[in-house]
Amino acid sequence: MPSTSSHATLGTAYHECVISLGSNIQPDQHYTQALAILGQECELVANSQAIRTSPVGFQQQPDFLNAALLVRTSFDYTAFRAYLKEVEERLGRIRGPIKSGPRTMDLDIVAWDGEVVDTAYYHHDYVRGPVDELLAATGRSVTPSASMQ
């Protein structure tokens, strides 16, 4: 996937995206690798502290490492979402039969251009905590998207 941080021509629209990151298979290694990939291929603006959290749903698995990232990209929402799934696969993500099961990396778009697009922000502290820390540290805020109101 080409870098979105290269010098673009005038008029290129950039989007700010808040990503929720989660891993519980070699989480420290996969977190470091995810930051390196996104930092090289996107404009990584900021990241929250990484926190350890207990699993939600399927309990017979290791704790998760969760964080939030703020990136800037020239991709549109659909293309960037597909790109994040491709990054997950590059980091060894295998989608098993248990949706909330173990994973090397989970990258979800929580907010797009200042609008919350994932209800997990409202329902899970492991998403909201790092996102709120990131927003406070960067002086940004989010609002519910029109489709959530």
Query: What is the rounded distance in angstroms from the CA atom of residue 89 to the CA atom of residue 110?
Result: 19
The amino acid present at 40, given as its one-letter code, is Q
The amino acid present at 25, given as its one-letter code, is I
Query: What is the rounded distance in angstroms from the CA atom of residue 33 to the CA atom of residue 37?
Result: 6
At 109, list the tokens. 């778009």
For tokens 């891993």, name the residue: 23
For tokens 């990131």, name the residue: 134
Residues in the chain: 149
Query: What is the rounded distance in angstroms from the CA atom of residue 50 to the CA atom of residue 140?
Result: 19
Tell me, rounded to whole angstroms, the distance of Cα 28 from its chain centroid. Answer: 15
Active site residues: 93, 103, 106, 108
